[in-house]
Amino acid sequence: MQNVLVTGGAGYIGAHACKALARAGYTPITYDNLSTGWQDAVKFGPFEPGDLLDRVRLDEVFARWKPVAVMHFAALSQVGEAMSEPGKYWRNNVTGSLTLIEAAVAAGCLDFVFSSTCATYGEQDNVVLDETSAQIPLNAYGASKRAIEDILRDFEAAHGLRHVIFRYFNVAGADPEAEVGEHHRPETHLIPVMLDAIQGKRDALTIHGTDYDTPDGTCIRDYVHVCDLVDAHVLGLKWLQDGRGSRVFNLGTGTGFSVREVMEASRAVTNRAVPAHDGPRRAGDCTALVSGSTRAVAELGWSPERSTMHQMIADAWRWHQSGHFAK
Ligand SMILES: NC(=O)c1ccc[n+]([C@@H]2O[C@H](COP(=O)([O-])OP(=O)(O)OC[C@H]3O[C@@H](n4cnc5c(N)ncnc54)[C@H](O)[C@@H]3O)[C@@H](O)[C@H]2O)c1
């Protein structure tokens, strides 16, 4: 079996990726400092505690497991925090990724799959974004991810580091078997916040801005199911192993949902109204972010079959109601 080093494998998306990798016949080696992740989410392969910024530890882990590739999910990813503490984001995400990339190159591990984000695009006149859209991030989180993309390109030119960059839109849902699911701390993502509010685990949802230039005044986002997203990563890894070269792919469905539309879908799935109140806009948020690309479908053969709003909320709701979430 081939080992794949999965940074951030104790987090939401990384844990789902470990399950998908194990199913595809790889051994996922989780490397994580548990700053926002959970050790009990590491279920599908060995756990190596460590920090991206710790080069000595990274060298040990590369030497021990000799991974054929890296899937790099580890990052800080809260827009609000990135606005108030940009240094933390540049250090953890950019310096941390640079340290990891240098360790991978030194170990001769030259296939690299990277979690980027639609936040690298920022606000654009045309809200439908494809991989060639300009990258003008509105916050230090998006800027840190764009910088890592630049590092990967430079390391390909200099050291032959082949990479697939995935720019995710909003990731939602959970493993249908509820072995892993979404559990950020603090939770800022719309669907889990709504489900927590429905269950009375937190105060009513604050709708951040109701005066945007959208049909109902709330922000519009494109949502993709976490299981579809990680399936794309396995396809991206195979793409690299087949020698098809470095490539950027958006991962979204091309359909946008406003905050109020997501609330209505949650009410329909759970049969319970979402307690919510209107609030002011949040710094760093764009009006709308929707993927305009079918590149992943056309080139990778990706088929995002679980990414209907109903399915994403139903899977997240199952996870929220499972015992795991209480931990
Ligand atoms: N969730 C989304 O909707 C979304 C959208 C776009 C992009 N992304 C990207 O996907 C990736 C995973 O996101 P997630 O939602 O699973 O977040 P998460 O917080 O659940 O997972 C991130 C993991 O990385 C680990 N980590 C962070 N800094 C580290 C460091 N310095 N060293 C070692 N481990 C470290 C954390 O402990 C955590 O387990 C991130 O890179 C994020 O930017 C997520």
- What domains sit in the chain, N to C, each tagged with a CATH number? 3-171+223-251 (3.40.50.720), 190-221+254-322 (3.90.25.10)
Average confidence (pLDDT) over 124-152: 89
**If you average pLDDT over residues 209-229, what whole number do you get?**
96
Atom of ligand 1 nearest to the CA of 172: 3
Closest-lying ligand 1 atom to the alpha carbon of residue 118:
6
Q: Using the mean position of ligand 1's atoms as its centre, give its distance from the Cα of residue 216 in Å.
A: 31
Average confidence score pLDDT of the chain: 94
Instruction: Judge whether residue 315 has pLDDT over 50.
Output: yes
8 torsion bin: left (phi>0), alpha (psi -120 to 50), beta (else): left
What pLDDT does 325 receive?
A: 55
Any catalytic annotation for residue 141? Answer: yes
Residue 31: predicted pLDDT: 98
Read off the pLDDT band of 326 (50, 70, 90).
very low
pLDDT at 27: 98
Residue nearest to atom 42 of ligand 1 (CA): 77
Q: How far is the CA of 215 from the centre of ligand 1 (A)?
A: 32
Among candidate residues 12, 31, 121, 141, the one labeled active-site is 141
- Give residue 8 CA to ligand 1 midpoint distance, Å: 6
**Distance (Å) of CA 218 to CA 160, 196, 257, 282, 286:** 44, 20, 9, 12, 10
pLDDT score, position 327: 47
Q: CA 96, 189, 38 angle in degrees (round to 5)?
A: 55
- Ligand 1 neighbours (beta carbon < 6 A): 7-8, 10-14, 32-37, 51-53, 73-77, 92, 96, 115, 117, 168, 170-171, 184
Q: In this model, does residue 126 exceed pLDDT 70?
A: no
CA of 16 to the centre of ligand 1 (A): 12
Query: Does the predicted model carry a pTM greater than 0.85?
Result: yes
